[in-house]
Structure 1
């Protein structure tokens, strides 16, 4: 059997197992182990063991539970309540201002936790009821919260970029810096879209005149709420970028800072602490199993030489240009995102895509940003977009699944436009890590 046929058989078998409802790590790991034993006999049994040892020796892996814990502390202790009140009084008296402020809230939440789920939970429980109560269009605000929460996997400290760094073997710090400007650009484009829509049709986001009656002293006091996420972000990033701390030390500082903030604000209880630690343990273990499976799967592909075979198939036999291959990769991510989450997508295609991207001459830091933006799009595309089901679970009864599907159309368009801009102008993502890391 040729290398191409073996690779296709492995992918087909894995997708069949995933469609049958098997766990992601079980499907990927089982195919890797079976293929290794079939190809190399008893010597193939060393591949899963080697993948586990490689994971255990990968020191930056310790950052994963730290960032997950930090996100859950900030979410469960409801430290975002004051933040939303701040945006309410500062932007509420502008048409569509509260929706624009919600995007700003999501950017700050993303800078504190790095998880899309935490942003969605905060937006759906805090922002959505307030927006509906004040007469905002339910379809528009549903899309605002879904789009804003997706920024959590692009703005640092992004857990998705940490996973990409592990599998693609790229520096996490550079990937984080590469995600800052594209993340802010996407947020700015969301805000611009909301402003234009509400200028054309003010009924979609009526101005809140009571926000203009809040005393200036109260506005200044609430402005201090915005300092908290910036302070947490600064305590992590400034020492790390300046070389004073390692990545793991910075993640520990961020987790401890978030915990200290919740205690000082008297939002932390023993029950909340237990919830945060249990959820952190569960998600961290899930990620570790998936990474072990992905490393084993990638080792089999390396041993097969499948990457070289696929590169030859695309470039020489099919005559595709590197850019055409890259666009096909991004389209495949969007298609897979309709029924898989971001982690599953990454570990399924990383053994093939990441080496191929490098072989085609593209920058892997830049490609990490493209992957993350495409994941955001996949999160919000029917029929099985991850954010769509999260919103359906958290939304009030008056917002139906049809409303949720309709709400994401313009925001997906903005994301696609951002993706095209980053593809055409790679320096938008690369200039900051190049400037800081020289």
Structure 2
């Protein structure tokens, strides 16, 4: 069997099996191992073993369960509730202020979380009922929560960037730094959109009434600022010590997990139920990501053996005569298309063996491309018909919020994400400046 036929068989069988509803890691790992047999005979079965050893030896992988644990501990111990109350009081008096405060809450949660799911759960359970009660437009607020929760996979510590770093063999610390300014830019554009829209149409986000504002004294308002002390301390201990070079990447994640636990103790909310729920969810998510990384490594190893990357480069640059930038745009368009029916991890596992080496051959920076991929993942999370966040939002919303409302709500926020993607593509320094400042100074 020729190499071309093996490559065609791998993609065709993988897509067919994915349509059956099987787990992504099982499908991709099985296809990789089976396709290795005609290439290397019985020795092909050793690929999975070799890649699992590589996975276990990748020291930065230890950050994965630590940051997931930290995010769930903050969620389960309701520290995010206190933060929302603070934003509610300080931003409530302006049109759309509670929605702007929700974006602010999501930025802070993202900076201590790394997962879209936890941000979505916090937004849907804390912010959504309050915003609906205060007369906010349901399409506006469901879009706010979905857009804000997606920041968790771009603003560090991002679990998706850990996954990309393993597959692309890039330092996670550099990837996290690269995501800071694009993530803050996207959050700022969200806030600008909300503020302008609610200024034009105040009925979409009515401010707090005069009676409610007068009922809260300035002393009480300043007292509420204390809700931000613990999250700020966690953020400083985790990221500040890391950026100062005192802790390594893995040590920083351990500090963050310990600090989140101590915060729950200080708040007297570390019950047995909270701890058990946190550990159970951490274990489930961590194992899922490890299986996905292992499957992606197996798939990539087979593709390296096929020489498929060189063939694709030849096709685009040689036969079609495209410029490197044109190829890059086509790659991003393919991500956007796949995002309508695949989640972020499936997209990365399927195309990373082809795209990552191709990006390197085209002369682009893999750190910068990791940010482009992550922004595209955010769009995929919110793109109908199968966006992950769409169904999470539906599952967590009250009956009056219909699926049609959720689908319509994401349109302006997806537009903002596309604008951010274009800006980062045109100005790579936005993602690369910060990693350059710390290059060689960080551990991990």
- TM-score, with length taken from structure 2: 0.97
C-alpha contact (below 8 Å) 1:90/1:211 kept by paired residues: no
Q: Deviations over 1:199-240 (max 9, x none)?
A: 111111111032354111111111121232222121111222
Partner of 1:132: 132
Q: Residue 317 of structure 2 is aligned with which of 300, 315, 318?
A: 315
Partner of 2:181: 181
Partner of 2:111: 111
Q: Residue 330 of structure 2 is aligned with which of 307, 328, 331?
A: 328
**How many angstroms does 1:320 deviate by?**
1.5
Instruction: Give the Cα–Cα distance (whole angstroms) in 1 for the partners of residues 250 and 74 of structure 2.
Output: 19
**How many angstroms does 1:346 deviate by?**
1.1
Instruction: Give the Cα–Cα distance (whole angstroms) in 1 for the partners of residues 421 and 412 of structure 2.
Output: 14
Q: How is 1:347-426 mapped onto 2 (pairs within 5 angstroms)?
A: 347-426=349-428
Partner of 1:87: 87
Aligned length: 438
Instruction: Give the Cα–Cα distance (whole angstroms) in 2 for the partners of residues 12 and 229 of structure 1.
Output: 47
Q: Deviations over 1:175-221 (max 9, x none)?
A: 11111111110000000000111111111111103235411111111
Partner of 1:67: 67
**How many angstroms does 1:322 deviate by?**
1.1
Partner of 1:275: 277
C-alpha contact (below 8 Å) 1:93/1:212 kept by paired residues: no
Partner of 1:289: 291
**How many angstroms does 1:2 deviate by?**
4.7
Verify: 1:36 aligned to 2:36, yes or no. yes
SS at match of 2:359: helix
Instruction: Give the Cα–Cα distance (whole angstroms) in 2 for the partners of residues 354 and 425 of structure 1.
Output: 20
Q: Residues 211, 118 of structure 1: CA spacing in aligned structure 2 closer, same or farther, 3 A cutoff?
A: farther
Verify: 1:141 aligned to 2:120, yes or no. no
**How many angstroms does 1:7 deviate by?**
2.1
Instruction: Give the Cα–Cα distance (whole angstroms) in 2 for the partners of residues 286 and 175 of structure 1.
Output: 21
Instruction: Give the Cα–Cα distance (whole angstroms) in 2 for the partners of residues 361 and 309 of structure 1.
Output: 17
Instruction: Give the Cα–Cα distance (whole angstroms) in 2 for the partners of residues 359 and 6 of structure 1.
Output: 23
Partner of 1:242: 244
Instruction: Give the Cα–Cα distance (whole angstroms) in 1 for the partners of residues 37 and 214 of structure 2.
Output: 70
Instruction: Give the Cα–Cα distance (whole angstroms) in 2 for the partners of residues 308 and 72 of structure 1.
Output: 43
Instruction: Give the Cα–Cα distance (whole angstroms) in 2 for the partners of residues 370 and 246 of structure 1.
Output: 26
Between stretches 116-125 and 2-11, larger displacement belongs to 2-11
C-alpha contact (below 8 Å) 1:88/1:211 kept by paired residues: no
Q: How is 1:141-290 mapped onto 2 (pairs within 5 angstroms)?
A: 141-209=141-209, 210-211=212-213, 213-290=215-292
C-alpha contact (below 8 Å) 1:4/1:309 kept by paired residues: no
Between stretches 277-286 and 102-111, larger displacement belongs to 277-286
SS at match of 1:437: coil
Q: Residues 203, 428 of structure 1: CA spacing in aligned structure 2 closer, same or farther, 3 A cutoff?
A: same
Partner of 1:434: 436
- TM-score, with length taken from structure 1: 0.98
Between stretches 386-395 and 61-70, larger displacement belongs to 61-70
C-alpha contact (below 8 Å) 1:173/1:241 kept by paired residues: no
Partner of 1:48: 48
Q: Deviations over 1:34-87 (max 9, x none)?
A: 111121101212211100111111111111111111111111111111111111
Q: Deviations over 1:102-132 (max 9, x none)?
A: 1001000101111100000000000011111
C-alpha contact (below 8 Å) 1:79/1:267 kept by paired residues: no
Q: Residues 142, 212 of structure 1: CA spacing in aligned structure 2 closer, same or farther, 3 A cutoff?
A: farther
Q: Deviations over 1:227-262 (max 9, x none)?
A: 322221211112222222221111010001001101
Q: Which runs of 5 or more residues in structure 1 are unaligned?
A: none
Report runs of 4+ in structure 1 exceeding 3 Å deviation. 1-5
